[in-house]
Amino acid sequence: MAIIWKTEPLNLVCSEIIDCVNKTAPVVDYETPYKMIRTTNVKNGRVDISSVRYVTEDTYKNWTRRAKPKRNDIILTREAPLGEVGLLRSDDNIFLGQRLVQYRSNPLIVDQLYLYYAFQDDFMQGQLRSYGSGATVEHLRIGDCETIKVKYPPLPIQQKIASILSAYDELIENNKQRIKLLEEMAEEIYKEWFVRLRFPNYENTEFVDGLPKGWEIGKLGDLVEFKKGRNITQNTISEGSVPVVAGGLSPAYYHNTANTSSPTITISASGANAGYVNLYFEDIWASDCSYLDTNETQYIFFFYLLLKNKQNEVFFLQKGSAQPHVYPKDIMALKMNLPSQCLISNFEMLINPFFEEIKILSQKNQLLQQTRDLLLPRLISGKLSVEGLAEAKEYVLGQNAEPWPMAAEAEGAYPHS
């Protein structure tokens, strides 16, 4: 029997479609349990809550009077940019900043995860683009948020499709968590050695004026030189597979040539993310950023962790209000205690396996993402039957059944526990 697919507007298949409060919430400059997400937090199918703004409890209650976002809500950007969609995977106290709308499906009609994946397919994305076309700034009106149409098969088929695609997302998220934990372990060892000064054999080390003998007070530029990325625009590139890093957060587009060798530290040079420190494990074209690669130092991970530890100081280097900038000369002027080269070398040898594992997990995620992105349009359109993929979830998740990495390498990293 042929499977019947329906096409209906979202207001007929959703139990709730909730717009944001269309004015700017008053934020505070300290952390609270109440977090505001903005359009910049919604990208590539995810809601990133690692960089949010904070408000008081009263503001949170006022801005969530219509509804409190909850886990598995679908968040859509109505403008700047238009059409980004993400799934909220947190139970934190979160509310929507301007130009965002959230969706909850009627579970008797459309599966929530299926709707999330349908939002990413060309059928719905094409409607979003058509609604926004013709405007100076692409913008989706509130009324249009409810009339976008979705194609869907019977509920059991939706659930199978969602199960298959979510298997990839779960594995990607698991790997991201492993990456996060590995990096946190590396950061903690860095602080133990170079901030708390509890490096191996520190008990037998002579200290002079609060510093280990042989250390000096200096600046980052005494050890390395950061270079300014060569700007390139989408109109002047030759298409290829090399990521162009213009801002330091994610590839803006792709070129056919790299100008750095991996791994590379980047510090975004301008815009809202000016000063953001990132690490790339592939060759890239460094554009709107300062960078340091393995051609300049053999201690790339030491310098990455040093800069992560000084992230707030790097943000404070921003100059200009309308368009903040962070310049290489200011990065290299950062004050620091200069350890002995022997200690840096020993630290790099200890920490290198952590980042090798991070690199492997990052590469796995790239392959998983590519497979998921190839499957999504074929499953959502019905071109690929789910019958032969019914066990894909178990297979995909089974690939993650491997021992926890790096337990042995951490042994001895902390002189005293």
Q: Structure tokens of 226?
A: 């950061």
Cβ neighbours around 79 below 10 Å, total:
17
Predicted local confidence at residue 246, as pLDDT: 76
Query: Looking up tokens 């779960």, which residue turns up?
Result: 170
Helix or strand (DSSP H, E) at 46? strand 45-47
Angle CA(371)–CA(364)–CA(238) in degrees, nearest 5?
Answer: 70
Helix or strand (DSSP H, E) at 293? strand 289-293
**Distance (Å, whole) CA 43 – CA 178:** 21
**Distance (Å, whole) CA 45 – CA 224:** 37
pTM here is 0.82
Query: Looking up tokens 């679908």, which residue turns up?
Result: 74
Residue ranges and CATH numbers for the domains of the chain are 6-152 (3.90.220.20), 216-338 (3.90.220.20)
**Distance (Å, whole) CA 247 – CA 290:** 10
**Distance (Å, whole) CA 290 – CA 268:** 6
Pick out the chain residues at pLDDT < 50: 399-412, 414, 416-417
- State how far the alpha carbon of 238 is from the alpha carbons of 25, 186, 252, in Å: 42, 37, 14
Q: How many CA atoms does the CB half-sphere of 350 hold within 13 Å?
A: 22
Predicted local confidence at residue 403, as pLDDT: 35
Predicted local confidence at residue 248, as pLDDT: 57
**Distance (Å, whole) CA 158 – CA 5:** 10
Cβ neighbours around 138 below 10 Å, total:
18
Predicted local confidence at residue 133, as pLDDT: 60
238 near 219, Cβ under 8 Å? Answer: no
Predicted local confidence at residue 187, as pLDDT: 97
**Distance (Å, whole) CA 397 – CA 218:** 49
